[in-house]
Each structure stands twice: as C-alpha cells, then as structure tokens.
Amino acid sequence: MSKEFSATASGWSTYQRLLVYTKQYWRLLALAILGMIAAGLTEVAFAALMKPLLDGSFVNRDPATIHLMPLLLLGVFAARVIAEFASGYGMAWVGRSVIRDLKRDVFDHVLHLPVRYFDHVPGGEILTRLNYQSEQVSEAASSALTTLIRDSITVVGLLIWLLILSWQLALFIVVLAPILVVLVWSISRAFRRYARRIQDSMGQVSHVAEEVINGHRVVKLYGGETFEAARFATINALNFKDFMRMQAVSALSSPLTQFVLALGIAGIVWFATTGDRMHSISVGTFVSFITALSLMLSPMKRLIGVNSVLQRGIAAGESLFGLLDEPREQDAATARRIERVTGQIRFEGVGLRYHPANQTAESVSALAPWVLSDITLTIAAGQTVALVGRSGAGKSSLMASLPRFVEIECGVIRLDDTAISDFKLTDLRRQFAYVSQDTVLFNTTVAANIGYSDGGHEDRARVYAAAKAAFAFDFIEQLPQGFDTPVGENGVLLSGGQRQRLAIARALYRDAPILILDEATSALDTESERYIQAALENLSRGRTTLVIAHRLSTIEHADMIVVLDHGRIIETGNHRDLLVADGAYAALHRLQFSRAALPEVRA
Ligand SMILES: Nc1ncnc2c1ncn2[C@@H]1O[C@H](COP(=O)(O)OP(=O)(O)O)[C@@H](O)[C@H]1O
Ligand SMILES: [Mg+2]
C-alpha cells in the first residue's frame, strides 16, 4: 500500500519537476492550451450545427438559415485550423524545447559525475537516459496534456449536447459506454503488451547483429557463420511474429469499436422510429445525435489510454531525474585557486577502499577490503618514481587518487604542501598529464587530438613540437591529410603504437608539472617500445614523473623505485640498492630475467 502511495507521490514530483522545465515557455504553453480548448469546442460546434443545418435548410427551407449555414460551417472549420495549429505547433515547440533543455542538463550533469559513477553504471544505460528517456518523458507529458484538455472538453461538450438534444436517446450512452470502455481498454492493453515484446525483440535483433559486426574477425576465423545465422533467424522470426500479432490487434481494433458503435446507432434508429416518437425527433436532431456520438469515439479512446501514457512518462522521468539527482563532483568550500605546482608530492598515511555500487564512505560495509593502506611517501619535484608490484597490488589506484578519480578514505595527499582536497578540481587536474595502456582518442583530427587540452583551439606550432618529441611527426606527415587526418572512432585507423604516440604527444602538449604513466608501453612490441621509451624520456624531462611499468628494464634509471604489495609499500630505493638488499624487487627482477631468457614469453 505504501509502495503504491510513494509511486503516485513520486509521479507527482516527477510531473512538478517537468513543469519547472516548461516555466520559461509558459506563454506558448498557454497559447497551446487555448488552442486545445478551442479545438475541442469546434468538434462540439460541428455536431451542434448539424441540427439547424438539416432542420432549417433542408426540412423547413428557412431562407435565413440557408444563407447562414455555409458561412457558419466555414467559420467552424476556419477556427479549427487556427486552433489545431496553435495547439499542435505550440505544444511541439514547448515539448521539443523541454527535450533540448533536458538533454543539455543531462549531458552537463554527466560531464560532472564522479569516476565512481561510471564504474558502476553501464555506458549504454546513461546513453538511453540521455537519448531516449528525455524524449519519452516530454512526449508523454505533452500528449497526455493534449488528451486531458482537448479530449475531455470534446467528450464533455458532446455529452452535454446529447442531453440537450434528447435525454431519452442519451440513455443509450449509458448502455454503450461501458462496452466501449472495456473494449478499448483491453485492446490498448494487448497493444502495450505486444509493443513491449517488439521492443525487446528489436533490441535482440540489433544486439546479435552488433556482436557479429564488432566480432566479425572472430566469427570468420572460427567459422561461426552458420551458428550466427541460425541465432539471428530465430530472433528475426520472433520479431516477425510479434509484429503480426500487434498488427492483428490493430487491424481488428477499429472495425470492432465501430461495430459496437453501430450496435448503438441501430438501437437509436430503432428507438427513434418506433411508436409516436417518429414525430418528436426531427431529422436534424437525429443526425446531430449520431454525429456527436461518432465524434466522441476517438477522444474517448485516448482518454481511456491516457493513464498508460502518463505511466510511461513517469517511469522515464523517474529514471531521468534519478540521473540528475546523482551527486556531482564538488569543490570543497575552502577550495583554493592554484595556477601551477612545482611537482612535489607527499602521501601521508593514505588509505583507500572501493565502495560497492550504492554505498558511500559512511555506510561502507566492513567487508570492503583496503586497496591501499598506510601509504607514506615523499616525491621531490622533478623526480622520476617507478611503482612496481604484482597486478592488483594497488598501483593504478594510487595513481588514480592523485587527480581525485578516486577519493582516499584516510590520510592526506599534498602537492607542494597543499592537500589535494583543498584544490579546485579543475586546478588540481590541470597539474597532470596521463598516459595509460589503453589510449582514448576522439573521433576528430590528429591535431585536435593532440591539442585536446585546448578544446578545439590548439596551437599548431605546439602541436608540431609535441608530435616531434613524441616521435609521431613522421608518421603523421605520411597520413593522407597529415595533421588534419581524422583518426576514426577511438583511432581505429591507426596502429597501437601510433595511437600510443598520439597519447604521449597529447600529454606533452599539455605541459603539466606531473606526469603519470600507467603501463604506457606494456601493450607494444619492442620496436615501437624503443621509440616510445625515447618519447617518454622527452616527456619526463623537467617534470615529476610517476611510472608504472611491467618491464623492469624500463625503470632501472628511476630516481626511486617503490614496491607495492597488497596495497602497502614494502620496499623503496633505487635499482642498485634494491638489488643489493635482495628483497621483493630483487626477486621480481630475477623472475623477469629468467622469463626473458625463455622465447615467446613476455613479462
Ligand atoms: N573501480 C574499481 N572498483 C572496485 N575495485 C577496484 C576498482 N579498481 C580497482 N579495484 C580493485 O583494487 C585492487 C587494486 O587494483 P589496481 O589499483 O588496478 O592494481 P594494479 O594497478 O596494481 O594492478 C584490485 O583488487 C582491484 O580489483
Ligand atoms: Mg593497473
């Protein structure tokens, strides 16, 4: 019971929030509503005109009526043109504006959601909310509003007119209405059921197709064609069946309701023509009555279905506003503006846990394991520090805590003596350049990708310099349009090594005081790696550099090597000292050395 109550309550609050979006368009909305009212009234007027039209012109041959009628008819339809346009166009304007504003707000919100959110919510779900649900909520709201205003005015107006014409005839409605309501209601329920199934099977059709398209090489190599074709055929057939069922309902619905209406009309004809009623009911009354009755049919159908439209809109609205209610990344109240740090980093007793999807630091279960604990480390400005450890040791998490992609739970991290939580987020993040194993490139030109930190206003001279230092200049020159070549979706038109060098050029272009390299070279072959190693040396000159590297050979010259295990620092020192100490680093080193001796095995 309480659940039902809360559903209506949140439905109401969804509606209110949507109303806020229409606020600035209230004049147009008011005009559209006026149009709806007028359009509803013209329907009633049309039915009402039938009586004087027939009785006055054709039966009584009254000259005044004969002159007036054509004009009145024209007047009604002219008013209808204006009313329909005002309501249709006005409502569409308001609706599309709301959709545009909703999309803008959702997109803006998504830009400012914490990294944590993206870890837990699938990208497709966020896209659906942005694209589809913003349309749904607004379309449902405008069509429901139109129905509630225009159709209820039409139905009520016509009912009143029926009563005025003849209350005895109007009694037929009492019999007819429940049958119609039940019929229309069950038709629309079947409709909804098939519509949902069709949506599902459409989704499956595109899902299977997408898998095949993305995995076409695997399909070809492993001979999956027959299997995939059969899988697709099953879903395709199901989709066909659902569509035909829906079509059956749709093709039957209109003649069936008309049949019920005909039953009513037959009854009315019978009633009106038997006994002495023949004389009390004029031709005009009769035709006007039948006209009014048939005009009621469609608005009644819509009114019966309006609840499901509303429900659909509310469901979409709840999920959409749910996204908008997700907390954004916030600057601390005391956040300070900082231009550029020198690059000294201090970790003081840092501890970190990842929280399950719907838990915050306050409510975290005791079971969430510590990914980092008790990390205390000082890195001088300009130093190169390597992080070493087994996979899962917490290296990436430690790096991610610096630009506050994840929030540490205890301890402090300081840049130049200022706690990173005291920075404005934008200022903090400006201090870093970041290259990781999986490069992200945007579907734009090479130059725009390199100069991404200048958001479309990249400085060409600096782009060239960055490309040169990243050993990317030569291959970029060879591309069909040089620096203006589009790289394709996530750089598919480039090789892995080329993508990596673009990522390094992008980091160089940014010219940040601190550089983070998270296994930036581990996906590469030795040839590309040699280039990239040289590029990285260019990159790290004059900056504080934090390197996570798989291959220990690449970090032997680091000023300091930090060995992490299970989220704790177990050793620090330079290469030579750590080898002499003969601890964990020395063991790792021996392991890699012996592996390197085996052919085809990469560390
Ligand atoms: N976004 C995340 N959400 C939950 N757990 C995570 C997340 N990222 C990493 N972890 C966990 O944290 C631990 C350390 O991971 P990570 O820092 O990536 O290690 P490394 O980079 O040393 O391989 C692992 O146990 C991993 O499962
Ligand atoms: Mg990692």
Ligand approaching nearest to the C-alpha of 119: 1
Check if the beta carbon of residue 527 is closer than 8 Å to that of residue 535: no
Distance from chain centroid for Cα 178: 42
Q: What is the pLDDT of residue 573?
A: 94
Residue 232, pLDDT score = 94
Distance in Å, CA 393 to ligand 1 centroid = 8
Residue for token digits 């159709």? 151
pLDDT score of 281 = 81
Residue 71 falls inside a structural domain: yes
Considering 62-71, 312-321, 524-533, 565-574, the range whose residues carry the highest mean pLDDT is 565-574
Residue 365 Cα to ligand 1 midpoint, Å, equals 17
Atom of ligand 1 nearest to the CA of 548: 21
pLDDT in tens, 461-519: 999 999 998 889 999 999 999 999 998 877 778 888 888 889 989 998 998 999 999 98
600 has pLDDT over 50: no
Which amino acid residue places its CA nearest to atom 21 of ligand 1?
396
- Closest ligand 1 atom, CA of 395? 22
Angle at 117 between CA 333 and CA 119, to 5 degrees: 135
| CB < 8 Å & 24+ apart, contacts of 401-407 | 401/350, 401/352, 401/372, 402/345, 402/432, 402/514, 402/516, 402/546, 403/428, 403/429, 403/431, 403/432, 403/434, 404/329, 404/428, 404/429, 405/115, 406/115, 406/116, 406/352, 406/354, 407/361
187 and 150 within one domain: no
Q: Ligand 1 pocket: which of 397, 407, 588 to mutate (most atoms <8 Å of CB)?
A: 397
Q: Which ligand is nearest to the CA of 564?
A: 1
Q: What is the pLDDT of residue 400?
A: 94
Letter string b/e over residues 317-349, b meaning 16 or more CB atoms within 10 A of that residue's CB: bbbbbebeeeeeeeeeeebeebeebebbbbbee
pLDDT at 395 over 90: yes
CB neighbour list of residue 101: distance below 8 Å, 6 or more residues apart:
21
The verdict on 102 and 213 lying in the same domain is: no
Residue 349 lies inside a defined structural domain of this protein:
no
Q: How many Å apart are CA 523 and CA 174, to the nearest integer? A: 77
What is the structure's pLDDT at 31?
96
In angstroms, the CA 566 to CA 4 distance is 48
Same domain, 206 and 270: yes
pLDDT above 80 (res 205): yes
Look at residue 27 and tell me if it is in a domain: yes
Same structural domain, 111 and 239: no
Q: Is residue 598 part of a domain?
A: no
Note the pLDDT tens digit of each residue in 144-202.
899 999 999 999 999 999 999 888 888 878 888 888 888 888 888 888 888 888 878 88
CA of 436 to the centre of ligand 2 (A): 9
Residue-range definition of the domain harbouring residue 147: 10-166+305-327
Core vs surface per residue 546-572: b (16+ CB within 10 A) or e: bbbbbbbebbeebebbbbbeebebebe
Which atom of ligand 1 is least distant from the CA of 400? 17
- Domain count for the chain, please give it: 2
Which amino acid residue places its CA nearest to atom 1 of ligand 1?
Answer: 119
Q: How far is CA 319 from CA 94, 132, 309, 445, in A?
A: 21, 11, 16, 36
In a domain, 352, yes or no: no
Quick one: pLDDT band at residue 59, thresholds 50, 70, 90?
Answer: confident
Same domain, yes or no, for 177 and 148? no
Highest mean pLDDT among 6-15, 168-177, 229-238: 229-238
- Same domain membership, residue 130 and residue 46: yes
Ligand 1 pocket, Cβ-based, cut-off 6 angstroms = 119, 354, 371, 389, 391-397
pLDDT tops 50 at residue 420: yes
Q: Is residue 54 part of a domain?
A: yes
Q: Are residues 124 and 179 in the same domain?
A: no
Span from the CA of 395 to the centroid of ligand 1 (angstroms): 8
Mean pLDDT of the 328-356 span:
89
How would you classify residue 288: left for phi > 0, otherwise alpha for psi between -120 and 50, otherwise beta? Answer: alpha
Ligand nearest to the CA of 400: 1
pLDDT of residue 2: 40
Q: Does 347 score more than 70 pLDDT?
A: yes
Same-domain check for residues 219 and 120: no
Is residue 201 in a domain? Answer: yes
Same domain, 14 and 158: yes
Q: Whose CA is nearest to atom 9 of ligand 1?
A: 397
Our CA dihedral for 576, 578, 583, 585, rounded to 10 degrees, sits at: -90
- Percent of the chain scored above 90 by pLDDT? 47
Assign residue 171 a region (left: φ > 0; alpha: ψ between -120 and 50; beta: otherwise).
alpha
Tell the burial category of 243 from Cβ atoms under 10 Å away from its Cβ (0-12, 13-18, 19+): middle
Shared-domain flag, residues 59 and 156: yes
Distance CA 163, CA 519 (A): 82
Task: Specify whether 189 is located in the same domain as 93.
Answer: no
Do residue 20 and residue 147 come from a single domain? Answer: yes
Across the range 379-386, mean pLDDT stands at 94
The CATH number of residue 15's host domain is 1.20.1560.10
Q: Determine, yes or no, domain membership for 194.
A: yes
Of ligand 1's listed atoms, the one at least distance from the Cα of 567 is 14
In terms of DSSP bridges, do strands 370-379 and 345-353 run parallel, antiparallel, or are they unpaired? antiparallel
Instruction: Using the mean position of ligand 1's atoms as its centre, give its distance from the Cα of residue 371 in Å.
Output: 7
Ligand nearest to the CA of 354: 1
What is the rounded average pLDDT for all residues in the chain? 87
Cα separation, 262 vs 431, whole angstroms: 77
pLDDT, mean of residues 121-133: 81
Q: Convert the pLDDT of each residue in 84-105 to its tens digit.
A: 999 999 999 999 999 999 999 9
Determine which residue's CA is closest to atom 6 belonging to ligand 1: 354
* pLDDT band with cut points at 50, 70 and 90 for residue 8: low
